[in-house]
Structure 1
Amino acid sequence: MQQHQRAAFLQAGFGKARLAHGACLRRSAPRRPALTCRAQQVVSGSCYEDIIESLADRALRGADASGRRRIIGIAGGPGSGKSTLALAVVASLNARRPGSAAVLPMDGFHYYRRELDAMSDPKEAHARRGAPWTFDAAKFVGAVARVRGAGAGEVVRVPSFDHGVGDPVEADIAIPAEAAVVVVEGNYVLLPDAPWSSLLPLLDEAWFVDCPLDTAMERVFQRQTGIGLAPEVSRVRIATNDRPNAELIAASKHRATLLVPSTVPFRSGRGAAA
């Protein structure tokens, strides 16, 4: 990270860890006009299944109209339901046309634990894992650029994240050549700070999963305690990491072309997407 970028992170309260240099973009890709809030819409539906299907329709229409791969970014804070939405839209598209869609998640671009150990304040780096500076943003942008610039018949492989081990798994996800729609999903897809800001010009559309902050944080609490974290530890983690990250992410939602509500219940009767 360049010095002025690191300073900006520190001023925003992201801690004192020194971010290692990310990988350079492996190839150049066509630049696209940056999306702005002027085209922003709010999607609606009587249930979450309707929202999923309408978004799948929208993605497919765009791909058919352009005749080329369509890349859609989905951003949202922790607990907003962005991963649920991305997987559901892709599942709907693949049910209609097998192999037509794929997800490229941001999770695989966490810095490895050994890289956090090498930062100037390893304790803080591990405690703040999930903050923007604990991801290899340049590597993430590079992967999206490779998907955008992929030639005919080219399969692009990207990393996944093993939550059991706590580290990425390189080249674990294949973006097939026939995928007409690729959904790029992650907290910081719309962040205006470099190098994250290089993502938006690579996207055809950007969707923001809009969820009340307190609702999202309660979902995070339920998730963390559900896997065995002590309630008091979860509350501290949320207050010192998850909530500040969510506030930062919410400040970028005006950069999306579409707002997707996250509190609409499913027709099946289960709660809203989380």
Structure 2
Amino acid sequence: MRAQRASKPPLDELVSRALGLVPTHGRAILGITGPPGAGKSTLTSALLAELGLEVAHLPMDGFHLADVQLDRLGLRERKGAPETFDVDGYVTALRRLHDEPRRTLYVPGFERDLEQPIAAELAIPPSARLVITEGNYLLLDDNGWEHVRPLLAECWYVDLDDAVRRSRLVARHQQFGKTPDAAREWVDQVDEANSRLVGATRSAADLLVTS
């Protein structure tokens, strides 16, 4: 499906659309993507709170490589870029949601205070008929990320004015310990490069949602 024009539909319309993805048998995975700071987690939290069926959350952030691995690979200063994630582990988890619906799937979460993944922090039970996964790179088409999109029933792209999004990112980095100058530099040097990469995938989304 080609992406629709960006709009800000009421939450109940988004909830209805998400419910419509659930098959008669098995489960569906809904992807929420967009650039850093666009509001993916906010939308995901709102959907999780409103959906009436058994729903679960599988965040892509849990598949960040730990800092010890980033140091080994020389990627610490690019943390958050596509190559700083365990994409194979993420794809395997998504596949297991379809292939092993009767088993509880334990997946890693991400602790922002520590900026580290936490193994098996989240559990997706067999009763979960809809799973929402959110992250920056769900629509990338290379380096292993191309295996993500075929596993999703739909993928929605969250859009936001760039100035507002950048301001949010600077504030977030300060909240978790960076100085104002360091926060702005990280946004300029790291987050915005990732944002451009994600932005290039916008037209591949099934739905564009203005945050």
The equivalent of 2:93 in structure 1 is: 143
**Equivalent residue for 1:132?**
82
The secondary structure found in structure 2 opposite 1:239 is: helix
Matches within 5 A, 1:144-223: 144-151=94-101, 153-223=102-172
* Residue pair 1:213, 1:246 contacting (<8 A) in 2 also: no
Find the aligned partners of 1:208 and 1:149 in 2 and give their Cα distance: 26
Please say if 1:90 is aligned against 2:39.
no
Superposition map of 1:20-169 within 5 A = 36-37=1-2, 40-42=3-5, 44-45=7-8, 51-63=10-22, 66-93=24-51, 96-97=52-53, 100-119=54-73, 122=74, 125-151=75-101, 153-169=102-118
Q: CA RMSD in A?
A: 1.6
User: C-alpha deviations, 1:30-73, integer Å up to 9, x for none?
Assistant: xxxxxx52xx224645xxxx63221111111221x544311111
Question: 1:228 offset after TM fit, Å?
Answer: 4.0
CA–CA distance in structure 2, aligned partners of residues 260 and 228 of structure 1:
30
* Contact kept in structure 2, 1:156 and 1:175, CA below 8 Å: yes
> Any idea what SS the aligned residue of 2:183 has?
helix
- CA deviation string 1:49-106 (max 9, x = no partner): x63221111111221x54431111110111100011112101111xx33xx1111101
Secondary structure at 1:171 match in 2: strand
Separation of aligned partners in 1, 2:175 and 2:117:
23
Specify the SS of the correspondent of 1:193: coil
8 Å Cα contact 2:170/2:184 also seen in 1: yes
Q: Which amino acid aligns with 2:33?
A: A
CA distance in 2, matches of 1:134, 1:208: 21
TM-score (norm 1): 0.73
Q: Structure 1: give runs of 5+ residues left out of the alignment.
A: 1-35, 263-274
User: Counterparts of 1:226 and 1:168 in 2: how far apart (Å)?
Assistant: 18
Structure 2 CA distance, aligned partners of 1:192 and 1:116? 23
Partner deviation per Cα, 1:121-157 (whole Å, 9 max, x = no partner): x3xx111100111111111111111112123x31111
For 1:237 and 1:62, how far apart are their aligned partners in 2?
37
Report the Cα distance in structure 1 between the residues aligned to 2:7 and 2:35, rounded to whole angstroms.
20
* Counterpart residue number, 1:230: 179
Unaligned runs of 5+ in 2: none
> Using a 3 Å threshold, how does the CA distance of structure 1 residues 258 and 89 change in structure 2: closer, same or farther?
same
Tell me: CA distance 1:189–1:227, structure 2 relative to 1, closer, same or farther (3 Å): same
Matched length: 211
C-alpha contact 2:48 2:56 (8 A) present in aligned 1? yes
**Is the CA contact (8 Å cut-off) linking 2:106 and 2:123 kept in structure 1?**
yes
SS at match of 2:21: helix
Greater relative CO, 1 or 2 (CA 8 Å, sep 6+): 2
> Equivalents in 2 of 1:135, 1:156: separation in Å?
19
Q: What is the TM-score with the length of structure 2 in the denominator? A: 0.93
What is the rounded CA distance, in whole Å, between the counterparts of 1:156 and 1:218 in structure 2?
36
Q: Is the 8 A contact 2:60 2:133 kept in 1?
A: yes
Output one character per residue of 1:101-127: Cα deviation in whole Å (capped at 9) or x when no partner.
1111011101111111211xx3xx111
- Report the structure number with the largest CA radius of gyration: 1
Q: Deviations over 1:178-204 (max 9, x none)?
A: 111101110111111130010011111
